[in-house]
Amino acid sequence: MGRPDSGDLAVNGDEVRNARFRIIVNGYDAPPVDDLLRRVALELDAGRPVGPLIASAAFRQVGRTFPRKQPWAYDPEAVDWFLDQLRRQNDRSVLAEVGADPWRDLPLGNYFTRRGPADLAKDTARPSLPEHRKQARQDQEYLAQECQDAWRDFGQLPGTRLQWVRAGVWRRELRMAEQQTIASLRAALPATVSAGGRTFAWRRFKRSSRPGVASSQEPSRVVRVATRLATRELLDERGMPVLYTGGRNYDHSADARIRFADQRWLRFPVRGTDPWNAIMTAVDQAASRVARYRRHDRGVEIIVHPGQHLTDELVLALAISAPWLSSYFHVPQGGGG
């Protein structure tokens, strides 16, 4: 991990004006986000850097409390991934390393660029509630179709193909395309993970000794929740930690993290409107796409980026994270999606 990634580095003003995000009940107040995008688009049109403008932005989260005053909100993760992409396109050290990466343009969050007139900068008035609902419905249908197309084309990506499958009531296995098992998880207590001929065991942290998982190099929302700490560590036979996990993918929020002993880390954003058009991506500390996941009838299909070596620690991370695609869509009892 650590391969340079060019990920969507050529966004222009019109694409910013046409950016759309998943509409949710509890998310970023939409008008301030739209206002920032208008200003960012103008800066891009003028050839000026947008990093400082994005870095100074802060958005209020709105929820179910005032539906009449604020009938819509944007998915915070989608907004933050998009803004981080814009911020990174001005990083000359990243631009210098851009190459012909076949995964470079794969989107990570629930945002998309609507094809059509770029009129966000012209239309400064809020739409009426009926018009907004119409727009939101059209946008969600458009996003769902984009996600379905990406899900269908998943198998065309180059890379190493793996499968995460059930192998009994309490056992799951990570297998190569030739059905060779390279990792296994035992869910019954004591829970263990095996890979490379070794067996690893879980241990929960005491509250006073948990190391942090988040990093200041992550997108803005993650920085604001950096107090979310690791909850478990995976130990080898000598009792030495090989990785830590923290957060979780749950209720349409992708907060799960894996941090390795050398401080490298992975995040697992999900793009999709339901479990059967969703793709989860493992993204490292350099914003490089490491692996992609989608559900299938027996479990989860995984494609590892062709530039990634399938090391034992990466195998462990893939096996541990595979269930997080499904858990992203789990909601609290009585909750909605």
Per-residue confidence in pLDDT tens, the chain, 337 aa:
543 333 344 678 998 998 999 888 788 988 899 999 999 999 999 989 898 899 888 898 876 544 445 557 899 989 998 998 888 776 654 544 545 788 887 888 898 887 655 444 444 455 666 777 787 788 889 999 999 999 999 999 999 999 999 998 889 999 998 889 999 999 888 889 999 999 999 998 765 444 554 443 444 443 333 334 558 999 999 999 999 999 999 988 898 999 999 989 999 999 999 999 999 999 998 888 999 999 988 899 999 999 999 999 999 999 999 999 999 999 887 655 4
**283 in any annotated domain:** yes
Among the candidates 129, 152, 175, a domain finishes at 152
pLDDT at 187 (0 to 100)? 83
Among the candidates 103, 133, 152, a domain finishes at 152
Alpha-carbon gap, residue 3 to 334, rounded angstroms: 42
Report whether 293 contacts 150 (CB < 8 A): no
Residue 136's domain spans which residues? Answer: 13-152
**133 in any annotated domain:** yes
Gap between the terminal Cα atoms of the chain:
33
**What is the longest distance spanned by two Cα atoms in the chain?**
63
Tell me: do 166 and 143 sit in the same domain.
no
Reduced to 3 states (helix: H, G, I; strand: E, B; else coil), residue 52 is helix
Tell me: do 172 and 259 sit in the same domain.
yes
Number of domains into which the chain is organized: 2
**8 in any annotated domain:** no
Tell me: do 118 and 145 sit in the same domain.
yes
Tell me: do 22 and 98 sit in the same domain.
yes
Tell me: do 319 and 183 sit in the same domain.
yes
Tell me: do 143 and 200 sit in the same domain.
no
Alpha-carbon gap, residue 51 to 239, rounded angstroms: 43
Tell me: do 52 and 122 sit in the same domain.
yes
Tell me: do 216 and 100 sit in the same domain.
no
Q: Global pTM?
A: 0.82
Tell me: do 119 and 103 sit in the same domain.
yes
Tell me: do 71 and 177 sit in the same domain.
no
Report whether 278 contacts 147 (CB < 8 A): yes
